[in-house]
Structure 1
Amino acid sequence: MEKYTTIRPGQEWRDTDGELIQAHGGSVLYHEGTYYWYGENKENYKAGEKNWHYGVRLYSSSDLYNWKNEGIILEPSEDITNPMHPERIMDRPHIIYNKRTKQFVMWVKFAGSKEDYSDWRVQYMGIAVSDDIRKPFQMVKYIRPLGMEMGDFDLWVDERDGKGYFIADRVHTEVIIADLTDDYLDVIGNYSSHFPHTQPPLAREAPTFFKRLDKYYIISSGTTGYNPNPSEAAVAELMHGPYKVLGNPCLEDVKNTSFDCQFSCIFKHPTRYGLYIAIGDRWMAKTVMIDGQEWAETSEAGYIWLPIKFQGDIPYIEWRDEWKLEEYEISKGPKEWWED
């Protein structure tokens, strides 16, 4: 297969075996010189049928362009009572590395009750660990953080002190930022609340978090299911805020759909000066009509990777049909460039 040398948002992206990449609702992690892209494996999903996922799949890369399939790192279960059964709802895995415990810690969002596996109102987290990101993770616990129904989320680790944070939407009401325990396997009681709304579509979901210079940022989505909507950026001087809403960061987003995607991760490049990449899914890239209802064929959802630019402290995202990482300079030393 011919190698990729550019990023082409929204266009078909295949792994080094020629298969469509299955890393939906996912994130990118950089560890010891290798990039890892992981997400929901939707390869068995068919619109209108029961299968929601087939575990969490991992890819590795040395250049962020070409991705090797490393296999499924959080296996599905054959037991329908297990939240990892393919017919159960599992979303948005996030992995962080704990330098203290030398473990990779994965959180995933589950939804559904024992009585109704499709009940979106019941949401909670599963936490799994592995000593090697390329090897299977083992589920160690299920939690309802702070006793609340938590939906889409992000995890972030402060590079300065290793402190971890959980950033999540409390279903259709507000965004919560909570401190993680030292082992990243739970939250402690310290948390803050942001962006209160009473109901969709204004209620925020899919929060993505990053830090630049001495400012903290959240880019989130409105609540309209798989249908895309305008993103919203917010900034604060402290981790727990208060956050100032900046509006839609997507420039010339004429359809007010965040370029027809929903962002799931903001990846800070480890060596290229000032490069932050907004990573999202174009869930409605392919749809089918079933009994008069439009369904997203998520196994063929496309990916949107776009660089974030800044005007002062204001982030903005412009559409690019094609772009290269090489447009950004490599930093001259490990701490020469601007932050942390």
Structure 2
Amino acid sequence: MKQLKFNIDSKIKQLFQYEETKNIFDTYLPGMRSRLESQKGVSSFSLRKVISYSGGAISESAIEKIDQALQNVIVYVDDTEITEYTKQQPLTTASAEMKAEGMYTSIRPGKVWRDTEGKRIQTHGGALYYEDGIYYWYGENKDRTDGNCTVWTWGIRVYRSKDLYNWEDLGLMIEPILDNPNSGLYPEKHVDRPHILKCEKTGKYVCWIKQSGEEACFLILEAECFTGPYQIVKENYRPFDWEVGDFDLIKTEDKKAYLFMDVNHNGIYGFELSDDYQKAEKEISRQYENLHPPFCREAVALFERNKKKYMLTSGMTGYIPNKSDAAYSDSWTEPFQSIGNPHPEDESHSSFNSQISQVFQVPGKKDLYIAIADRWVPDYPIDKRRADLIMRSVASHYEPEKYPMTEEEKREIMDRPMLEDVNTSKADYVWLPLRFEDEKVYIDWSDEWRIEDYE
């Protein structure tokens, strides 16, 4: 048996699972439970967050009483109720969707992309790696993340290809750890955005993974072979004790490696890595400082072209896409300067309804750089009006007078997809080539394009 405890920071969906905690709602907040149950988007909120939206209607003394009442509740449940997802489960994809579509001969951004067995590719927040004539595509395995269970990421999956079109599933290069809820690889942990570099000094492949949420740290692993198996070498790592956000790694021609990460949602900081690529040794730059959500930056993607260093980032609106920003520098050790939105033709103000996770330079091509991006919520398309509404709703928490919201807009925004309620198992991919004009970088939409069209 497992003992569950509760308080005001417990999530709504957990509090609504048990009669004891539902009764507390009905006693101290009469009528609120029925309203919240009709708004799926708030189920991943903590009770404290929901109360904060009341605008002071619930007194501090009432909040203290609710918190104490919840702390007095103890519920015992069978371990299998907590870890039901650890059983092997068949994929929920409909059989009609499993049918292979044959060999791909082009890239179709935003369309369902299947592997050579006809299954949806599951490598989200991912990246490409090229070695010995083979492309590898690796990322978060979301095949069990249906928005209803507590699985965030079920390990890191890897595929291989010779043409960047057709991908063979090699399985999990990093397995989830099921018997230790404190492990960074436990399926409930918010494991995001793996990045792998080969360390020339050790000959090892070093993988950094962000653990978001309360931990806000890195998990670092290494392997003898790119496809694994990987062993954990460092857990709960925070460079210089900074809270960790989205990040990217880059290796230079002289084999130095750098980390650029969102620090405490207060800027993108650059760090030089140790010669074994397993720790940040010194800070080298800061950019995008003193911005609050949704304007602070995440989803860092780095690349180099013609000796210029580039950084693409997104704003901070969860799984809902927003405008990207491009920046460049003359050196990895100097601050980056913004050069504007790389999607100037995007009328949706949402980076073509996607969020970039990597920019990959295709070997053997003169000037082909691909923005690798996820369309996390394909069933919730963003247009200009909705993008503005979401931007104001997030910004209003920090500057309510500058970004006002009507009551009708607040009700509408409550139905948007929330991080823990999104079925990311059916998220799609948006791959688009970059275009350059002098030092500026642009990303144009194309319904379909081919690698062969580039020199």
Which among 436, 442, 446 is matched to residue 310 of structure 1?
436
Q: Which amino acid aligns with 1:65?
A: Y
1:45 aligned onto 2:139: no
**Aligned 1:174-189 pairs, distance under 5 A:** 174-189=267-282
The alignment partner of 1:285 has SS state of: coil
Contact kept in structure 2, 1:72 and 1:136, CA below 8 Å? no
Please report the TM-score for the alignment, with normalisation by the length of structure 1.
0.91
The alignment partner of 1:91 has SS state of: strand
- Counterpart residue number, 1:5: 105
The alignment partner of 1:105 has SS state of: strand
- Counterpart residue number, 2:126: 26
**How many angstroms does 1:243 deviate by?**
1.7
**Aligned 1:59-78 pairs, distance under 5 A:** 59-78=159-178
Contact kept in structure 2, 1:39 and 1:58, CA below 8 Å? yes
**Aligned 1:275-286 pairs, distance under 5 A:** 275-286=368-379
- Counterpart residue number, 1:146: 240
**How many angstroms does 1:104 deviate by?**
0.8
1:156 aligned onto 2:250: yes
Gaps of 5+ in 1: 113-118, 330-340
CA distance in 2, matches of 1:196, 1:326: 41
CA distance in 2, matches of 1:94, 1:193: 21
**How many angstroms does 1:242 deviate by?**
2.7
CA distance in 2, matches of 1:292, 1:319: 28
Render the CA deviation track for 1:104-160: whole Å, top value 9, x for unaligned: 110000134xxxxxx3xx4000100111112221111121012101110001100x2
The structure with more helix, counted as a fraction of residues: 2
Gaps of 5+ in 2: 1-99, 381-411
Which moves more between the two structures, 306-315 or 192-201? 192-201
Task: Compute the RMSD of aligned alpha carbons.
Answer: 1.5
CA distance in 1, matches of 2:208, 2:165: 26
Please report the TM-score for the alignment, with normalisation by the length of structure 2.
0.68
CA distance in 2, matches of 1:194, 1:8: 34
Identity rate of aligned residues, in percent?
41
Which among 223, 226, 230 is matched to residue 133 of structure 1?
226
Contact kept in structure 1, 2:272 and 2:284, CA below 8 Å? yes
Contact kept in structure 2, 1:286 and 1:296, CA below 8 Å? no
CA distance in 2, matches of 1:186, 1:176: 14
Larger Rg: 2
CA distance in 2, matches of 1:29, 1:302: 20
How many aligned residue pairs are there? 318
CA distance in 2, matches of 1:15, 1:58: 11
**How many angstroms does 1:17 deviate by?**
1.0
CA distance in 2, matches of 1:82, 1:32: 33
The structure with more strand, counted as a fraction of residues: 1
1:92 aligned onto 2:193: yes
1:109 aligned onto 2:210: yes
**How many angstroms does 1:171 deviate by?**
2.6
Q: Which amino acid aligns with 1:101?
A: T
**How many angstroms does 1:218 deviate by?**
0.4
